[in-house]
Amino acid sequence: KAGVTQTPRYLIKTRGQQVTLSCSPISGHRSVSWYQQTPGQGLQFLFEYFSETQRNKGNFPGRFSGRQFSNSRSEMNVSTLELGDSALYLCASSLVPTGLRNTEAFFGQGTRLTVV
Amino acid sequence: AQKITQTQPGMFVQEKEAVTLDCTYDTSDPSYGLFWYKQPSSGEMIFLIYQGSYDQQNATEGRYSLNFQKARKSANLVISASQLGDSAMYFCAMREGGIQGAQKLVFGQGTRLTINP
pLDDT in tens, A63-98: 999 999 999 999 999 999 999 999 999 999 987 654
Quote the percentage of chain A above a pLDDT of 90.
72
Position A19 scores a pLDDT of 98
Interchain proximity B99–A58, CB inside 8 Å? no
Lowest-confidence segment of A7-16, A97-106, B82-91 by average pLDDT: A97-106
Backbone angles phi, psi at A84, to 5 degrees: -70, -5
Q: Using a CB–CB cutoff of 8 Å, tell me whether B56 touches chain A.
A: no
Selected residue of A94, A102, A112 to mutate for chain B interface (largest B Cβ count, 10 A): A102
pLDDT of residue B101 exceeding 70: no
User: Considering chain A, what is the average pLDDT of its residues?
Assistant: 90
Interchain proximity B54–A100, CB inside 8 Å? yes
Selected residue of B35, B45, B50, B53 to mutate for chain A interface (largest A Cβ count, 10 A): B45
Question: Residue B53: its chain A contacts at CB < 8 A?
Answer: 102
